[in-house]
Chains A and B, each alone.
Chain A
């Protein structure tokens, strides 16, 4: 089961923060299966993706099993 996490305004917009789901494929496929808008937000640079707690720019990377995939808005700390 891959684990998906959403943060910041993304979590509020989609109405959930964490989900586990059966999935094997690319990050892009995973995002599309959840919401087509996510892929567009990543391509426009408003959102980033992390796999297992590290930023991942290659949406073609395959994920499966125990991977943790996080969808992150542009950082705004401080």
Chain B
């Protein structure tokens, strides 16, 4: 049963558009699935390999701009961005890894934080190349209806899930976790830590970048502040995985579900809505204290909590 869980969920998700959901709900569901891809990407690097990044907006934005720029400069469909973002992100991850992965722990996290900001400022100022703060707009979106966007992002998410599952259950997965737990010990056990950290970074960057390329096509408009922001992308990515469960298969998807719906809910509330970032901050603190392993990781703790309440 447990083995078929991913397939059952996939089947249910495939049938979801038939339920005749409103365009708004479909939009939210698409965002949830997109965020699970980003979360899965972050989780591979931060959760399994232990290299916590506060700059995943850098990868997301590069993917989005890879799609946007081929449309803007070459006049070809931005959908090619889904493919183009793979080599672009692999190459840039190699460069980023070469610089940032020399650092450990908090220093690595800080360097990635800087990276996202550097790219945001760069994208805003290379006006001739990126159109600066005016952003890139796709003149005509491919579909008005959301169904096809939904299926495309679903395929991307299913592919990402399969990739993560395959990788983490292989030798690479063991090596990633070994590096997370003790880099020096891993090194003396014959693990080329630099190589495997770079592999984790590349995979993570590519997944996040592909999600970015999808975002360009789906939203039809990007500018530096929407795809490279520290808070709305980088921090939310960390939160999605923290809330869902670090280093778990379902954590990113669960976290995306909770975070996106919560964000919509809080934002739509009168008066409180403006303070949604504050509320998210408080939520994060509560999660870290009471569910340090996230919803997926501390599932047993949660169910126990509810079971205890029932007889009373």
The answer to whether A and B come from one shared complex is no
Chain B residues in the interface with A (C-beta under 8 A):
none
Residues of A within 8 A of B (CB): none
